[in-house]
């Protein structure tokens, strides 16, 4: 997979993309990530990328020209262009799974008061990571990249992410490690039994119980009683 990120602050990504699983995926050649400062594409003599909004108001608005030119320079036939914006579609695991099957993602990070509405015409998709406002789209872009890369073949074991929260529409089951007893709190005996069938049943029950208690909105009952992914 190839990921291109349009940002005014490419240095924000350096440490994040040079650590942990993302670093290993890049070193294995499983993903190629490039950050592009679209200020360099500005035709303004002073490399200006924003201006005051028509109609008045506070703040500055990102201009069309630098972003249009940068996207057009990067876009290929198989590219999916994504705008990170608070009014975009909420990011959820089903969408992450879909994105992990793409071969080329172009992520546009907004900044300042917003962006010229015409920039939306460049995009195939608009995503939000939550109902709150950040300084810019850099952190949402990092979230999207991290969530997508861990699902790419060869990055981590498939059974690892298949047991993650939200993958099948439920939260993850509780996990324990050594010691067996810590400050009077014991590991459930079923996990020490060696009976894999009972362990699997226990984990499924605990995942359902946790999801019903903490995130009942994720659940909808199928005819067979299984937990299904909440569809939009």
Domains and CATH numbers, the chain: 2-149 (3.40.1280.10), 163-218 (1.10.1270.20)
User: Of the residues 10, 24, 69, 113, which is catalytic?
Assistant: 113
Give residue-wise pLDDT tens across range 146-168.
999 999 999 987 766 555 555 56
Contact 59, 114 (CB under 8 A): yes
174 is catalytic: no
Give residue-wise pLDDT tens across range 76-115.
999 999 999 999 999 999 999 999 999 999 999 988 778 9
> pTM for this structure?
0.83
User: Of the residues 10, 53, 86, 174, which is catalytic?
Assistant: 86
What SS3 state is found at 89? strand
The closest of 15, 25, 64 to 152, measured between CA atoms, is: 25
The closest of 176, 165, 144, 140 to 215, measured between CA atoms, is: 165
Spatial separation of the C-alpha atoms in residues 152 and 158, rounded to whole Å: 9
224 is catalytic: no
């Amino acid at each position: 997979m190839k990921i291109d990120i349009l940002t005014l602050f490419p240095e924000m990504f350096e440490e994040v993309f040079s650590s942990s699983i993302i670093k290993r995926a890049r070193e294995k050649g499983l993903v190629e990530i490039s950050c592009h400062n679209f200020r360099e594409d500005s035709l303004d003599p002073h490399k200006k990328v924003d201006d005051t909004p028509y109609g008045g108001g506070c703040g500055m608005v990102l201009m069309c020209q630098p972003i249009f030119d940068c996207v057009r320079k990067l876009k290929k036939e198989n590219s999916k262009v994504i705008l990170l914006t608070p009014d975009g579609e909420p990011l959820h695991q089903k969408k992450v799974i879909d994105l992990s099957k793409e071969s080329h993602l172009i992520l546009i990070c907004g900044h300042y008061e917003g962006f010229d509405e015409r920039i939306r015409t460049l995009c195939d998709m608009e995503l939000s990571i939550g109902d709150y406002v950040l300084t810019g789209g850099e952190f949402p872009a990092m979230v999207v990249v991290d969530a997508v890369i861990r699902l790419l073949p060869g990055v981590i074991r498939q059974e690892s992410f298949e047991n993650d929260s939200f993958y099948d529409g439920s939260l993850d089951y509780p996990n324990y490690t050594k010691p067996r007893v810590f400050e009077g709190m014991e590991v459930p005996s079923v996990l020490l039994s060696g009976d894999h069938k009972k362990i699997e049943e226990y984990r499924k029950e605990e995942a359902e119980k946790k999801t019903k208690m903490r995130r009942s909105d994720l659940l909808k009952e199928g005819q067979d009683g299984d937990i299904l992914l909440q569809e939009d």
